[in-house]
Every structure is written in structure tokens, then in C-alpha cells.
Structure 1
Amino acid sequence: MLISTLEQLGYQHQGYPVGYSKSSQIRWLSVLDLKGKSEQQLLKEMDYQTRRNIKRTDEMGVKVRQLPIEETDRFFKLFKMAEEKHGFSFRDEPYFKQLQRDYQGYASLQLAYIDLNEYINGLQQKLDDLNNQMQDVETALAESPNSKKQKTKQTQLNQQLTSTQRKIDDTRETIATDGAILDLAAAIYIYNDYEVYYLSSGSNPKYNAYMGAYKLQWEMIKFAKDHNIDRYNFYGITGDFSEDAIDYGVQQFKKGFNAHVEEYIGDFVKPIKPLLYKAGEISGKL
């Protein structure tokens, strides 16, 4: 009904495309409904792995802070990594600076980062606690050498001690080569009273183990809740839901937060000068 009405008014429907295009609006969106839901309920409704990854970022001490416009370059460096990874080219750095000026008060440039010195301190505390537990187990085994329960616990503690020490050693190596403060992921958001809109982002694949992108999204979801905003828009996906889709990984990431898919009707064009428009179509310039 709507399409026929618009066509009667001279508009031409551009069909139902799948994929990304620089010449048309995104037709498929991934959206999370926040209305009437607590943080605990939102977490519960997420995919198990997504929920676990968010918890891990807290355990590792991943933090999020807002970047001032003067530090847009830190965002853009990560954004360029995303462009290279996915093989696309979107905008240059001045565009994102101007975007923040145009949406002043309604734009937010967020950075997820980790202080590896703090992370090591946490790991060292865990290591000390594990060693204390191991001493208790060894004392118990000295009294009851055949205790299956204590032997099992000893094996588990040995595995945890080895794993924790390896993380400490690896982290020290990273500090030596990359520094103590790592920029993990960054994103720019636009928001109003009704919606938080996740526009563009990037991350350093070298540091995927710290899962900065999960921390970013969760902190901004909480931001939306704190400001009584009921709609969290992860924005565009291709609409190709096969495992061969170019954005399959992105879709699964957004789906993990329990986002649902919305399909728009598509673009309409109204030729103001039909003959020139037809000529442009024939020549391939439109």
C-alpha cells in the first residue's frame, strides 16, 4: 500500500537490496530493546559467551573513558584497523571531528583500554592466593596422603598456578614491547532521548584477548539505561544471514547481546527531471 501510494506520487522504489552501499541508507538494523529491563535481566538474556566475556573484562580491569575531540586520533587509529580488516573505506579523521562538533552534546567518543601494570597486580594477588591454597592442600595431603579430594584439588591448583604465571610472564613481555597502557577498542555514538546509535568503531586485533569491544558495548548499554533511553541501536548489518556473509562475525557479535533484526522498506527516488534522470540511468552515472 505504501509503495504503491508513493509510486503514484512519482517516487521510484529502489528495491530490497542486501549488503552495504555508499549511495543508500542501511536497510537492515540490529537493535536491542532496553525498555523495562534491568541490567541483570539484560545480562541474563544475552548469549552465555557474551555474558562471560563481559565478566572477563571486569576481571581483567578493562576500563572505558570518553575521549575529548582532541584525542580523535586515538579512535581513528583503531578505526583504520577495522577498515583494513574488513576491506572497506568509510571516512577520514576530519569527518569524525566535524561529526562531534555538529552533534555537540549528543555525540560520545568512547575508548576501551587496559593498564597492564594494574592487570599484573591483580594476577599476582591471584597467584599468591593460589599458593596459599596449595600450602593448605599439601598440609592436608601430609595428613591424609590417599585423599582423592585433596589430590584432585592439588591438580586443579597446579593448572591454575601454571596458567596464571604464564599470563604474568606474557603481560610483562607485552609491557616491554607495547607499553603498559593499551588502546583496545573505540567507537563513536550518537544519542538522543530515545536512542543510542552505535555509528562507527574499530579495535586492535592484536589485543582481542582483552575483549575491549564487549566492554565498550556494555558500558554504553548501561549509559542508555542511566539516561532512560529505551533503544540501543547497533546499527547496520548486510541482511545476508548466511555463514558466508561478509559481516557474519559482526552479526554474531551483535546477536550475542540479544539484539533483534529490523528491516526497513528501502529507498525511494523521485526524479525531478525525468528525461535527464533517464539519460543518467542509461549512461550509468546514476
Structure 2
Amino acid sequence: MSIADTVQPRFQSNVYSYENIEETLPKHTKRLIKDADRRNVQIIHGQGELLDEFSRLVELTESRKGVALRDKEYFKTLLENYPEGSVIFLATCNVYQLDKEAKEKKVQIEKEIDATPENAKKKLHRLEDQLQSVNKDINEYKKIFDEFGQEDKEIAIAGILSIQYGNTCEMLYAGMDERFKKFMPQYKEYVENFKWAFEKGCSWSNMGGVEGTLDDGLTKFKDNFNPTINEFIGEFDIPIYPFMYRLTQKAYKILKSKHM
């Protein structure tokens, strides 16, 4: 039932092919994608030219979660071995432009407030809510500038590396810069990955394993894409030489106990 019990997870979260994948998504996922659009999150895809940024995002995820995934050389090997079926998706955004637009909007709202009579309370309340929201965005962008610098450029904030194999797509590795989690980049990015897979003739796109209890964080995140959970039979050892098998299993246990 646990991912850790086997080499390959028994329970895997797959999104099956649809002509219009957006129509199958839950309402809250559509709303999160609109949040990404509001932040002008863009999705690009490619291969080796995106490797540096993708590797950086994976390293950030490793540090945040305290796990060891793979390094740049491994990802490069994957791309080289699947030249026709490999892809890296990156979600990017330009915070400089977002900040510029927010400040322009703030000036416009303040002018409207000054021009609105005091007895138009409903309109004033709406404008004040808008002003509060835009000020919140500006403060958020300021924190990002403090870390990244205030440059007019696209920043990679999330990424996925996927492999098409036969009529399936395996979404193998993903990374995200946690400082941009409010931009909701992964939701828009995953959908673009699904579209890419289905356009290449894949029957389904595999987001990877989940716990058999279906109550873990991975399951909850992947449920945002209305997947089918496929349960596999599991893994078995077939001893060709039973006597040698028993000896090696005993030796393996002894060796493992020494390293624990």
C-alpha cells in the first residue's frame, strides 16, 4: 500500500486522453489556472536549451523537501536517449512587468476614488477593495525583487521533464521555486504537458505514484487534474535457483543490518 514498499508504486495517477482536457478539470483547478493567467504565467517547452533552468528548479525542490532526486547530467542523458520523445516544460513570469502594471492600476484606482462622491458608498467600497488587492500584489513583488533584483526579464518558476514512450507519457521529474507558489504555475504547466502528450498520440499521461491510502499530499495535488488511479499487481521475485536465492536473501539481510 505504501510507495516505499516497492521499486515501482502500485498505485499510479493517470490522466487519460481527452480532446479538450480543460473541460474535464474540476472547477477549483480552472480557477487556479486563471490565477496563473492573471499573473501572466507563460509556458514554454523544449529540450537541452532549458536544462540549466530545469535543473536549478529541481535543486530548489530537493533542498525544500530534504530529498535527493537527480542531477543535470542525468536529465541530459534522458534527453539524449529520447531525442524524439523527451520534453522539458517551464513556467515563466516577468515580475518587473507585473509590478509596472500593478502600479499603473493603483494610480488609476486612486484617481477613481478621488472622483467618486462620498454618497456612492457601494462603488467606493469596491474601489477600496481593489486598491487593497493591488497594494498586496505590489508588496509581494517587492519581496521578490529583494531576492532576484528588479530586472525586466522572464524568470523560470516551475518545470517538468516528461518522456513519451510508445502510447504513454511519463511525467518523471518536477521542480518549483516555492517563492512563486502563489502564481500557481504547476496547474497551467501540467495541463500543457497533457496536451503535448495527447497531441503525440498518447493514451494517457502518468503523473506517477501515490500512496495506496489515497490520502497523502501527492494524491491531493494530483486529484486537481481529475485522474484515474490505476492499481497494479505489484512486484514478485521468481527464484531461478531456489537454493542460491535463499542464500543471497540471507546475505542481503545481514549486509543491510550492518548499514542501518
TM-score normalised over the length of structure 2: 0.85
For 1:223, the equivalent position in structure 2 comes to 196
The reply to whether residue 174 of structure 1 matches residue 162 of structure 2 is no
C-alpha contact 2:3 2:209 (8 A) present in aligned 1: no
5 Å matches for 1:36-185? 37-43=19-25, 46=26, 48-127=27-106, 130-131=109-110, 133-134=112-113, 138=116, 141=117, 145=119, 150-179=120-149, 180=151, 181-185=154-158
| Letter aligned with residue 123 of structure 2 | K
Structure 1 Cα separation of the partners of residues 112 and 166 of structure 2? 51
Q: Distance in 1 between matches of 2:233 and 2:52?
A: 36
Once residues 218 and 102 of structure 2 are traced to their aligned partners in structure 1, the CA distance between those partners, rounded to angstroms, is: 31
Amino acid at match of 1:195: T
User: CA 1:41–1:156 in 2, change beyond 3 Å: closer, same or farther?
Assistant: same
Q: Which one-letter code corresponds to 1:151 in the other structure?
A: K
Letter of the aligned partner of 1:237 in structure 2?
V
CA contact (8 A) 2:198 2:204 kept: no
Amino acid at match of 1:19: I
Contact 1:103 1:190 in 2 (8 A): yes
Deviation string 1:229-280 (CA, Å, 9 cap, x unpaired) is: 33121121122324xxxxx222111101111211100112222222221111
Alpha-carbon distance in structure 2 between the residues aligned to 1:184 and 1:153: 37
Which residue identity lines up with residue 75 of structure 1 in the other structure?
Answer: F
Question: Tell me, which stretches of 5 or more residues in structure 1 are unaligned?
Answer: 1-16, 243-247
- In the alignment, which residue of structure 1 is the partner of 2:205? 232
In the alignment, the residues of structure 2 paired with residue 130 and residue 42 of structure 1 have an alpha-carbon distance, to the nearest angstrom, of 37
Count, aligned residues: 251
For residues 92 and 40 of structure 1, what CA distance do their matches in structure 2 show? Answer: 33
Note if contact 1:19-1:240 (Cα within 8 Å) is conserved in structure 2. Answer: no
Q: Does 2:240 correspond to 1:272? A: yes
For residue 206 of structure 1, what is the aligned residue in structure 2? 179
Equivalent pairs: percent with the same residue?
24
- Rg larger for: 1
CA contact (8 A) 1:78 1:203 kept: yes
The gaps in structure 2 that reach 5 residues or longer are: none
Alignment partner of 1:251 is 2:219: yes
Alpha carbons of structure 1 residues 222 and 130: separation in structure 2 relative to 1, 3 Å: farther
User: 1: distance between equivalents of 2:52 and 2:241?
Assistant: 43
Please report how far the alpha carbon of residue 98 of structure 1 lies from its aligned counterpart in structure 2 after TM superposition.
0.4
**Aligned-pair distance for 1:87?**
3.3
Whole-angstrom CA distance in 2 between matches of 1:160 and 1:49: 22
CA deviation after TM superposition for structure 1 residue 228, in Å = 4.4
How far off its partner does 1:103 sit? Answer: 0.8
Supply the RMSD in Å over aligned alpha carbons. 2.5
Show CA shifts across 1:118-161 (max 9, x none). 2224324543554465466x1xx36xx3xxxx312211211211
